[in-house]
Every structure is written in C-alpha cells, then in structure tokens.
Amino acid sequence: MKKTNFDFDLIVLGSGAGGSAAANIACKNGLKVAIVESDIFGGESPNYGDIPRKAMLNAAHTFFLARRASKFGVRSSTLGYNFPSVAAWKRLVVKRTGADDNTDFYEKQGVKTFRGNARFITPNEVSVNRQHLSADNFIIATGSKIALPDIKNLENVPYHTPRTILDVMRPPKSIFIVGGGTEAIEIAQLLAIFGTKVYISEISSRLLPQEDEEVGLSIENTLVEDMKIFVLPQTRVVAVEKEGLSKKVIFQRGGTEKFIKVDEILIAGGRAPNTDIGLENAAVEYNDEGIVVNEFLQTSNKNIYAAGSILGNKFTTSDILLQSRVCANNILKPRAKVSPDYTASPRTIFTWPEVASVGLTEDDCMRRDLQFKTSIAPLNLIARGNTDNFKTGFVKLICDKHGKILGGSVVAPEAASIIHEIGIAARYNLYASDLADLPHAFLSWNEAVRIAANRIR
C-alpha cells in the first residue's frame, strides 16, 4: 500500500548548485524540505571548483599583469609571490561564500540537513545512514565524478584531479594535463603563471572543440605565446609509468608514440554521473549519460525531478542554477510547469583574457541546416584596446539570414560580462541592427559588440 503520510514535502539529494536553490525556494514557499549531502555541504562549485579556482586565477592574473606593467611606466623588477599566501586567499574566499561545508546556512532557511549517502528504497523513500526518510517529491542533484580515461597503468601512478591540484603546497615544476576543456585550460594557465612547465593534451584537433574555431585557436595562441604552455592537440595518452620521483606519460600523436617525463599528472577529462543511488527502486530511468528527464526536468517518475551534472556534462553552473529554480517552480506549481531556457546561458572560461560564448555556434547552425552569417570585430579596432595595449581578442556574432542574433563569442578582458549583451539579444530575438543602433559607452570593451553588429550585412 502506498504511503501518504510523508516525513517531508520535498527531499533534495545534493547540496550543490542543482539542489540548494530549489531547497531554499521550496522552503520559503511553505514546503517542509530536507537536503541530503554525501560529501561537503555547498557542493563542488564553491568548495572545490569554480570559486577556489577563480580566486587563485585572480591572484595569478594580478601577478601576470603586474609583471607586464613596465610598458605603462610601472616598475615591476622586484615583483614576487608567496604561494602559501595565495592558498590562504583561496581558503578565505571559499569561507566567505557561506558554503564551506556549512549546514547552518540551510538550517537558518528552515531546511533540515542530513549527511550521508542517500539510496532509494521505494519511489517515496530513501535510506541515509540506516535512517529512512520519506517525501512526496524528490529532486536528484547528486552531480558527477571524475571519469578516468582508459590509460594503461593509471591505477598504479599517483595523479591529480581538478579538485586536488588546488590544494598542492607549491606549484609543481612540471605537469601533464590530460584533457583540453574549461577546467584544464584554467588550471594550465594558473600553474604556468606560477612557474610550472605545463603540457596540455586534447584528443580533438584543437582546444575547446565545442566552440567556434576562432575561440579555440585564440586561447591556444595565448597559452603558447604568453604562458609558454605546450599544447598537444590530436593526442591520445595511452599509458603512464612511475620512474623515481618523476612520472612518464606515453602518448600517440601524429601516428607515432612519444613520451614526456613530468613531476605531476592531472586528469581533467570527462565526468560520470552519480547514478548509483538505487534509481531502479524509484522507477527512474537513466543511462550512461545520466538521468533521463522531459522538458520540465521530470524523470520517468513524475514526482522525482533532476538537475545538474546528473543529467550530463554539458551544463554550466549557471545552467544548473536555472534547472534548480525550474524544478522548484514545477513542484510548487504543477499546473504551470516551465522548461529551462538556455538561449541566453553563457559559457565562460576565466583565463586571461577571458573567453565567453552564448547561443549557437557555427557547427550548431550547420547541424540544424540553418542559413547564417557571421562577423568579427577585433579588439584592436576600439579605443579601449589602445588605452590598455590589448592587441588580440575579438567579438564574433552569428546571425540568421535576416540578421537576427543567434549567438556569439568574445575573447577579451571582462568577456564574461560583455557576453550578456549578446545573450539578451539572442533570447529576445533582437537583430544585429538593434545592437548597432544602441549607443555604447566610449572606452568600453562593449564597443566591439557594436562594431561586430554593424558589420552584419
């Protein structure tokens, strides 16, 4: 017989971006809510990922730019850094987020917290440390874990992950990074600025293969020319070996097998969803990519929703926060369900310079058989590029055949802020002419958006 008297109205599995927002929204709207966390409260982003990495990148970029300040008449010959102090800064930033494994944050909102591995017993009940908790609705936001690549002998050779590399006591003398995605590129630049000899491999023909070609080539040029990083595209790592204090990385490139000896190895490739939570007992469908949901983020069990990287690896933190809010809305308003709209959701990389994209890429347009046109405005065309002595970077727009904005990319200082203008245009069906006619602040980086828009014909 189905249980109808539940302990909670909603139980959220996972306290990261996919779970926290929904839990707080539901609680503020009168639901009795619990949240279960198997690792550290606050989740991956504020504790191990985006926040600590950005804090350390900010320190690295400050050091990098200060070393190049002589061109502005600023002396920098005695400049240095103290890596333990950089690490202390990172810890302070994490603490100030309010996450930092802080259950008080949730309890003050009225959300009951439980620590442990949750596993479904029935569609309405989970077990947490032998305690049974029941709810009318669930949101699964258990995230993902590192998916180790098929590399011979990897289990016998110490390696870092994007989580552990940020806790090293000092930058390694050399490192080989397996994977050329966002995390890998940010960490590569961070370590290179602090003196590490960095090799970064990517199985595709270029870094960031999911973005337009100009974006990947631009950031690769920066890594190689400014950071002296060794970028190895079309490279497959096949084996690793321990040789004394060093590690030997064996890889195939250009039809031949080669090797490099380094101090450390970083595995920063794919991730696998955390689906081992008894989903079969809850009648929730899933596959190797993650949990299967409909347009409303409902699973095959209509009372169970899912958000975040449990759905796959293609979502950014801002996407996941959006999904969390959508889940809460659809539980609170079952007759007025909404779907997440990713049209204006930005994709960002906090390197120097920053990289940001939104909407469709050229490959997306071709896959959809869309007629489109593009324009590029190099940043050296605008006054800000002159005053800041910034000679690379660009704004790129992609429009349909009528000039309606479909997407765009920015490689520039503050690209993560600039991109929102293009995102708003894409979401609200604006045309390039609308952006070209809009007055832009003189000496702002956004002037390049106006120039790119004006070049669409």
Sign (positive or negative) of CA dihedral 315, 323, 294, 287: positive
Per-residue pLDDT averaged across 395-424, rounded?
98
Backbone angles phi, psi at 283, to 5 degrees: 60, 40
Greatest distance between any 2 Cα atoms in the chain: 79
Q: What is the mean pLDDT of the chain?
A: 95
pLDDT score, position 247 = 98
**pTM of the entire predicted model:** 0.94
Place of tokens 């014909």: 457
pLDDT score, position 279 = 98
Stated as kind and residue range, the H or E segment containing 271 is strand 271-273
Per-residue pLDDT averaged across 440-448, rounded?
98
Which are the contacts of 443, defined by CB distance < 8 A and separation ≥ 6?
Answer: 383, 384, 387
Under CATH, domain 347-454 is a member of which superfamily? FAD/NAD-linked reductase, C-terminal dimerisation domain (3.30.390.30)
Q: Per-residue pLDDT for 293 more than 60? A: yes
Residue 162: cis peptide before it, omega within 30 degrees of 0: no
Residue 414 identity = E
Per-residue pLDDT averaged across 64-83, rounded?
89
Per-residue pLDDT averaged across 429-451, rounded?
98
Tell me where in the chain the CATH 3.50.50.60 domain(s) lie.
8-43+99-145+272-332, 154-269
Determine the Cα–Cα distance for residues 123 and 142; give it in Å rounded to an integer.
17
pLDDT score, position 100 = 62
Q: Per-residue pLDDT for 4 more than 80? A: no
Position 78 confidence tier, pLDDT thresholds 50, 70, 90: confident
**CATH of 154-269 among 3.10.450.350, 3.40.50.720, 3.40.50.280, 3.50.50.60:** 3.50.50.60
Asked whether 122 and 282 are in contact (CB, 8 A), the reply is yes
Tell me where in the chain the CATH 3.30.390.30 domain(s) lie.
347-454
Stated as kind and residue range, the H or E segment containing 261 is strand 256-262
- 3-state class of 83 per DSSP? helix
Fold of 8-43+99-145+272-332: FAD/NAD(P)-binding domain (3.50.50)
Per-residue pLDDT averaged across 282-302, rounded?
97
Q: Per-residue pLDDT for 266 more than 60? A: yes
Residue 171 identity = P
Determine the Cα–Cα distance for residues 305 and 140; give it in Å rounded to an integer.
6
Sign (positive or negative) of CA dihedral 388, 344, 349, 101: positive
Stated as kind and residue range, the H or E segment containing 9 is strand 8-13
Percent residues over pLDDT 90 in the chain: 89
pLDDT score, position 367 = 96
Asked whether 319 and 303 are in contact (CB, 8 A), the reply is no
Instruction: Tell me how long the chain is.
Output: 457
Q: Per-residue pLDDT for 61 more than 50? A: yes
Q: Per-residue pLDDT for 3 more than 60? A: no
Q: Per-residue pLDDT for 1 more than 50? A: no
What is the token pair recorded at 191? 């370590």
Per-residue pLDDT averaged across 331-344, rounded?
96
Determine the Cα–Cα distance for residues 176 and 156; give it in Å rounded to an integer.
16
Position 76 confidence tier, pLDDT thresholds 50, 70, 90: confident
Per-residue pLDDT averaged across 311-321, rounded?
93
Determine the Cα–Cα distance for residues 455 and 457; give it in Å rounded to an integer.
6
What is the token pair recorded at 170? 């000092």
pLDDT score, position 2 = 47
